[in-house]
Amino acid sequence: MSHLVPFPEDLYARFAAVAANRGQTPDELIVTLARETIEQEEEEEGELSPDDPFLKLAGIIDIPVERGWADRHDEYFAGAEDDSSKP
C-alpha cells in the first residue's frame, strides 16, 4: 500500500538532498523517519512532556528521604495489611 504526501517544491528539494547525503531515496527517508518517530513516541508514552504543567511542580517540595529506602521497602511495609483492620 502506498500513500502520497504533498511537499512544497522547495522543501522537497532540501529533503531529497538530506536523503541523498544519507544514501537513501526520499521515500526511504520518509519511512525511516516515520518509524523512528513512532518508536520514540511509544517509548515516551506515559512520560511527562516538557510542556506538561505538572512538570513545573516537580521538585518544589523538599521531602527528606532516607537513602536506600527503595531497597528496604519490604521492611517498611511489612504488616501494613494487618494494621489496616485496626480502628
Domain at 1-60: CATH code: 1.10.1220
pTM for this prediction: 0.49
> Residue ranges of the domains in the chain?
1-60
Block means of pLDDT (10 residues each) for the chain, length 87 residues? 85 94 94 90 71 74 73 73 54
Confidence at residue 13, expressed as pLDDT on a 0 to 100 scale: 94
The residue to which cell 527528606 is assigned: 64
Confidence at residue 76, expressed as pLDDT on a 0 to 100 scale: 73
Cα 57 to Cα 73: distance, rounded to the nearest angstrom: 26
Confidence at residue 30, expressed as pLDDT on a 0 to 100 scale: 92
* Cα dihedral: 48, 52, 53, 55 (round 10): 40
Confidence at residue 81, expressed as pLDDT on a 0 to 100 scale: 57
